[in-house]
Structure 1
Amino acid sequence: MTSFDPALSRRAFAGTAAGAVTALGLSAADAAADSGGAPSAERPFRAARTRGRGARRPNVLFILGDDLGWADLSCYGAPEIRTPHLDRLARQGVRFTDAYSGSATCSPTRFSLYTGRYPGRTLGGLAEPIADRSAGLDPAHPTLASLLRDAGYRTALIGKWHCGYLPDHSPTRSGWGEFFGNFGGALEYYSKLSSGGEYDLYEGDAEYRDLRYYTRILTERAVEYVNRDHGRTPWLLNLNFTTPHWPWIADGDEEAGAEIVRRIRSGDRRALRHQDGGSLAKYRQMVEDLDRSVGAVLSALKRSGQEEDTLVFFASDNGGERFSYNWPLSGNKGSLLDGGIRVPSILRWPARIEGRQVSRVPVYSPDWTATLLELGGARPDPAYPLDGVSLAGYLLRGDAVPERDLFWRVRGERALRRGEWKYYRGKDGRDRLYRLSEDIREQADKSAARPDLLTELRAAWDRIDRELLPYPA
C-alpha cells in the first residue's frame, strides 16, 4: 500500500523539547529525536515470536481523539503540527497506515467499537450522529466493557460517551464501572454547555461542576485513574477526548468561549459549531494540546510501573473536519472517501510487541474490539456475533489476518474495501472502483476497466447490507 513515508514526516520539535523531557521523563535519545535528531526508521511489522514476556492479561488504555484527521500527527505527515509524545508512542510500538474508523461520524464509530459490530445492527447506530434522546446503546447489548468486566477487568470511561442520554443510556448501564465525562457530541470547553444550553459534565449519572478547560480536566482524571493501586486486577480505561472537535477553543481562550456561551443562551443552536471561528493556527494549538495531554497520561503510566503490561491504543473516531490536514486523502468527516474514515492509529504493548514498526494491513474499529476481547480472555456473546476479526494472532504470532471485507454504510454513501481495492458509491449514486495501492487519493475510477470486480464488490456490499436494519424514513 502506498503511504506517506514517516522518514520524511518527523520534523524538529525544538521549542518544547526541554519541557517534554522534564514533564514526561523522556530518555536522552528520545529527547534528541523529538528536538530534531534523525528519526529511527520504521520496519514492516513482524510479530516477535520469541519475546512472550507478557504472561498476564494486559491493562488496556484506549485513547480516542475527536475529529482528528489521518495526517494531523507529525508521524503521519503533518507539515506544521508537532506531536512529539504521540510520535514517541509510535516509535515504541506499531503505526498503522491503513486503519479505519467504523463509520464517518462520532456515534456510529463508537457503537462499532463498543459492540464490535456494524453500527447498522442496532437502532442507536443508525443515528449519524446521535443528536437527541430518542436513540442510544441498548444496555442489554454486550459491550467491550461488559465482556471484559465479566472476565475480571475493572472498567472506566473518561470523556465523551455520545451513545445516548440519561435516563435510559449511560456507560454505567453498558459495562463501565466508572464514568466521568459528557454524554453529548460536543460542548463548550469551559462552561460545558451543549448546543441546546444544557450542562453536560457528569460523574456517574450525576452532574459534576468544574468550569476549567475540559481537556485539562479529562487529563487529570485519567492520570488519577492510572495512578491508583489496581493490584493484580487488569483494567480497561476508555479515554475519549473531545479535542480537537469544534468549537475551536484552545486552553486560555476564555473570552472566545464566553462569546459562544452568550450565543447559546440567546437561542443560537448553531453557535457551538463555530462556523465563523477557528483557524489553522488554533487547530494546531488544539492538536498539540491533545498530544501533551496524552503525554501526561503516558508519563503517569510509566511512573506507576504499569507501562510494560499495558496495551495502549490511540486513534481518532473518524476523519478530520475543515481545518484537518488529510493529504493525500480525499474527503473528510462524514464522507466514506478515505479522508472521512481512515484514521491515525498507534498500538504499543512493550511486554509483547516490539517498537519502530509499521503495518499496512487494512483494519478498522470492530477489529480492535475482537482483539481486546481475545487478549483479555473474554468470550463474545454468541447471540451478538462480532463483525470484526481478532488481530491477536497477527500481532503476537505473525499469523495472516483473516481475509474479509471492510464494510461501511452511511446515509447516501456506501463503501467496501477488499485488499487494495475499494468500492465506493457517493451521494450522486454512481458506483466507482479505486485501486488504493496506486491511487490513495481515490481519483482514478477503474470501474470501466474492471467491471467484473465492481460487480463482485457491489454484490458483497449488498449481502452485508441486507443483514442490517434499514434507516428510518
Structure 2
Amino acid sequence: MQGEFMSSRSAFPIPRCQSIVLGLAGFLALLGSHSSAAESTDTTEKPNVIVIFTDDQGYNDLGCYGSPNIKTPNLDRLASEGRRYTSFYSACSVCSPSRAALLTGCYPKRVGLHQHVLFPQSTYGLHPDEVTIADHLKSAGYATACVGKWHLGHHKETLPTSNGFDSYYGIPYSNDMNHPDNKRLGKMSSDDRWTDQSSAVTLWNTPLVQDEEIIELPVDQRTVTRRYTDRAIEFVEANQDKPFFLYLPHSMPHIPLYVPEDVYDPDPQNAYKCVIEHIDTEVGRLVQTVRDLGLSEKTLIVYTSDNGPWLQFKNHGGSAGPLRAGKGTTFEGGQRVPCIMWAPGRIPAGTSSNAFATNMDLLPTIASFTGVALENDRKIDGIDLTSTFTSDESARDEFVFYSAHGVLEGIRMGDWKYLRQVARRGPNAKGPKPEPKVFLFDLSQDIGEKNNLVEQQPERVQKMHARMEELNEEITANARPVWRKKVNS
C-alpha cells in the first residue's frame, strides 16, 4: 500500500517513508502564499514582525542580561541596537498557558488554557475562534508562518494552520514528549543523554510536522534548531516584498538538550551553555538576513522566553540570576524573563526599560506598531507597549499571577507584589490542608523577593488580595471555551 496512512491513535497522517523532504504544496505554503482577499489589500508600507520565543530560558541566560559564562554576541548586538526590558513577564510559568497568552493577548484562563500543559494524549487545545496575532495580521494581508514548537494542541483544529498561520513547520508539543501516547522509550540521565547525542533519535519519539502532516518521526533534535532557522530564512526571503509575520518558538533550551555535531561540546557541564550559544548563532543568521535584504528599517523583532529556567536540571537548565526560584513558580524567577525589542528608527539603540510589561501585551503592541487596528469584539488583557519604546514609564499597572496549574496565586500592582500560595495536594492526601504562605514584596527594592513585608503592611495586603480576587472573578466570568475533540457516540 502506497502513500499515507492514518494512525488510529494519531491526529496526524504519517508517511511511510517518514521523509524530511517537503512536498511541493507544503513548500509553497511555507513560502507564504496568501488568500486572494489578503492579496487585494494594500500592504506596501506595513512593517514586518518577527517574534522569537525560546523555551525555559532564564532571566540571566544572555550576556546582555548578565550571564557570567554564556556568550551571546548576536543577541547582545540586537540589544545594543534596540531596547532591553528588565521587568517583562510571561503570563505563566509553564509552556502552554504562556504561549496562549502571547498569541491571544489574554490571560490563559480567559481562553481556557490555564491548567498546566498539553500532552500528546490531550483532547483539547486553542480554539480556532480565538483571534491570534497571526489571525489579526493575516486579515490585513500579511504572510504568516509558525516555525518551531507550538504546544497549543496537536489536533488539526488546534494547529497553527487553523489559527491564522499560512504554514507550519515544527514540533506540536515539548521535545520530551512522545507520539502518540507519550510513552517513554527509555531512560538515561541528562548527562548521559548529552554524552550520547544519538539518544536524540533513540529515546524520543517527538514528531516534526509540516502544516498538518508528520514528515519526520522522530525528529532529529540535534539539527532541529538550525532547521527552524533555515525555514525561517526561506520564509523571510520569499516574502521580502510584502509584509510578513514570523513566529519562531524554539524547542530549546527545554530538555532534552541537543545540538549539531559541528557545535557540540562533549562536556555535559557545558550542555546548557552550548545550546544557548547555538540559539544565539541561529538568531544571528536570521537577523543578518533581515539586514542583508534591506528590511531593518521596516521590521520589529521581539526576543523573549516562555517562562523561567528549569532549575532542577542544574547544568541542563538555566539561571534566573538575582531572581527567586524558576519555572513552575509565581516567584520572579518563574515568570520574569528576558525581552529584547529591535526596530531601527522606531526603538532607540542601546537602551533599556524597567517598564512593567508582559507577553500578553505583544498583540496590542504589534497591532499599534503595524497600524492594523484591533477589532473590539473579543476582550483581551494586553496593553499597547509602544509608549515604552522611548519611555521608562509603565503602560501596565497590575498583573495577576496564576500557578502552573491555573490556581490564583497573586498580583503585582505597581512595584508591589502579593502572593498567596497553597501547596498542591494529591487526590489521596490526608490530614488538614496546609496553611497558605503569604508574601508581600517591594520589587523596586527587592527583585530577589527576600524581604517579606506582610507583617509591616497589613492594609496593603488586604487591598491587594481584594483586587486580585476582583480581577480573577471578571476573568472567570468571561472565560471563553477551549476547543475539545468530539467523542464519537
Shorter-chain TM band: 0.7 to 0.9
CA RMSD of aligned residues (A): 2.7
1:424 and 2:419 are equivalent in the alignment: yes
Unaligned residue ranges in structure 2 (runs of 5+):
1-43, 178-196, 312-316, 424-435, 482-489
Change (3 A) 1:185 1:437: same
Question: Among 339, 348, 356, which residue is 1:362 paired with?
Answer: 356
| 1:426 shift after superposition | 2.3
Q: Which residue of 2 aligns with 1:244?
A: 253
Structure 2 CA distance, aligned partners of 1:278 and 1:464?
Answer: 48
| Paired letter, 1:226 | V
**Map of 1:184 onto structure 2:** 173
Q: CA deviation at 1:348?
A: 0.6
- The secondary structure found in structure 1 opposite 2:102 is helix
Counterpart of 1:465, as a letter, is: N
Q: What's the counterpart of residue 348 of structure 1?
A: 342
User: Residue type matched to 1:227 in 2?
Assistant: E
Q: Report the alpha carbon displacement of residue 248 of structure 1 after superposing the two structures with TM.
A: 2.4
TM-score by length of 1: 0.78
Moved more, 186-195 or 442-451: 186-195
Contact 1:226/1:304, CA 8 A, preserved across alignment: no
SS in 1 for 2:228: helix
Give the match for residue 201 of structure 1.
Answer: 208
> For residues 253 and 463 of structure 1, what CA distance do their matches in structure 2 show?
54
Instruction: Note if contact 2:156-2:162 (Cα within 8 Å) is conserved in structure 1.
Output: no
Equivalent residue in structure 2 for 1:127, among 105, 108, 115:
115
> 1:58 deviation in Å?
1.7
**1:335/1:413 contact within 8 Å kept:** no
Verify: 1:302 aligned to 2:312, yes or no.
no
Partner of 1:219: 229
- Assess if the C-alpha contact under 8 Å between 1:151 and 1:376 holds in 2: no
Number of the residue aligned with 2:452: 445
Superposition deviation, residue 166 in structure 1: 1.8
CA deviations over 1:161-210 (Å, ceiling 9, x no partner): 00001233110000011111111122589787798x65411111112236
Letter in structure 2 aligned against 1:406: F
Q: Deviations over 1:422-456 (max 9, x none)?
A: 11122342221001111111011111111111111
CA-CA distance at 1:336 after TM superposition: 0.5
Measure how far apart 1:219 and its partner are: 1.2
CA distance in 1 between counterparts of 2:145 and 2:154 reads 17
Q: Tell me, yes or no, if the aligned pair for 1:187 and 1:193 is still in contact at 8 Å.
A: no
Are 1:104 and 2:93 an aligned pair?
yes
Code of the residue aligned with 2:416 in structure 1: it is W
Q: Check whether the contact 1:155–1:178 (CA below 8 A) recurs between aligned residues.
A: yes
Match of 1:266 in 2: none
Secondary structure of 2:401's partner?
strand
C-alpha distance in structure 1 between counterparts of 2:344 and 2:174, whole Å: 33
Q: How does 1:70-469 map to 2 (within 5 A)?
A: 70-123=59-112, 125-131=113-119, 132-187=121-176, 198-209=205-216, 211=220, 213-231=223-241, 233-252=242-261, 279-322=268-311, 323-395=317-389, 398=391, 400-410=393-403, 411=405, 412=407, 414-428=409-423, 429-469=436-476
Q: Distance in 1 between matches of 2:145 and 2:77?
A: 25
Give the % identical residues: 31
Letter in 2 for 1:310: T
Distance 2:118 2:476 in 1: 16
Task: Tell whether the 8 Å contact from 1:122 to 1:469 is kept in structure 2 after alignment.
Answer: no
Shift of 1:56: 3.5
2: CA distance between counterparts of 1:72 and 1:403? 25
CA distance in structure 1 between the partners assigned to 2:124 and 2:98 by the alignment: 15
User: Does the CA-based 8 Å contact 1:97-1:345 persist in structure 2?
Assistant: yes
Q: Indicate which of 36, 57, 61 corresponds to 1:68.
A: 57
Shift of 1:464: 1.5
Q: Distance in 1 between matches of 2:396 and 2:289?
A: 38
Residue 467 of structure 1 and its aligned partner are, at CA, apart by 2.5
State the Cα distance separating 1:403 from its structure 2 match.
4.6
Cα contact 1:156–1:179 (8 A) shared by 2: yes
Q: Tell me the matched-pair count.
A: 394
CA gap 1:152/1:89 in 2 versus in 1, 3 angstroms:
same
Residue equivalent to 1:27: none
SS at match of 2:146: strand
**In structure 2, how many angstroms separate the alpha carbons of the residues matched to 1:219 and 1:92?**
21
Kept in 1, the 8 Å contact 2:409–2:421? The answer is: yes
Using the TM superposition, give the Cα deviation of residue 460 of structure 1 relative to its aligned residue in structure 2, in angstroms: 1.2
Please identify, of 101-110 and 413-422, the stretch whose mean Cα deviation from structure 2 is larger.
413-422
Change beyond 3 A, Cα 1:253–1:399: closer
Q: Measure the CA separation in 2 of the matches of 1:82 and 1:403.
A: 32
Q: Residue by residue, what CA displacement relative to the aligned partner does 1:337-360 show, whole Å, maximum 9, x if unpaired?
A: 000001010001002121010101
The answer on whether the counterparts of 1:89 and 1:348 sit within 8 Å (CA) in structure 2 is yes
| Distance of 1:318 and 1:292 partners within structure 2 | 21
Q: CA deviation at 1:151?
A: 1.7
Q: Distance in 1 between matches of 2:209 and 2:402?
A: 32
> 1:353 corresponds to which letter in structure 2?
I
The 10-residue stretch of structure 1 (215-224 or 205-214) with the greater mean CA deviation from structure 2: 205-214
Q: Which amino acid aligns with 1:204?
A: D
* Contact kept in structure 1, 2:418 and 2:441, CA below 8 Å: yes
